[in-house]
Amino acid sequence: MDVKQIKEIALKYTAEQIEGCITRQIDTGQNVCLTDLQSEAIMNDLSKADVIRELLDKGMSLADALRELARRMRLLQQGFQNKTNT
């Protein structure tokens, strides 16, 4: 995860624009938000930027939004680890 790039996208584009970039990436393999990575990495970074942008729009600071994203990612990873251990 390139945190600097994700922050730049989250600050530059609205949540709707980021979601549009995600849709275009899925539909055409191209988007205007992020172009210098492989498709899977682009989708990962755009999705993270979208979460951060939505949190910023709700009034959260950038630092707190990044921490919240990290918290959510840890919870998700723990859920996957619990499923593979059962």
pLDDT class of 11 with cuts at 50, 70, 90:
very high
**In terms of C-beta density within 10 A (0-12 exposed, 13-18 middle, 19 or more buried), how is residue 84 classed?**
exposed
pLDDT in tens, 22-75: 999 999 988 889 887 788 888 999 999 999 999 999 999 999 999 999 999 999
**Which two tokens mark 36?**
């210098």
To the question of pTM greater than 0.85 for the whole model, the response is no
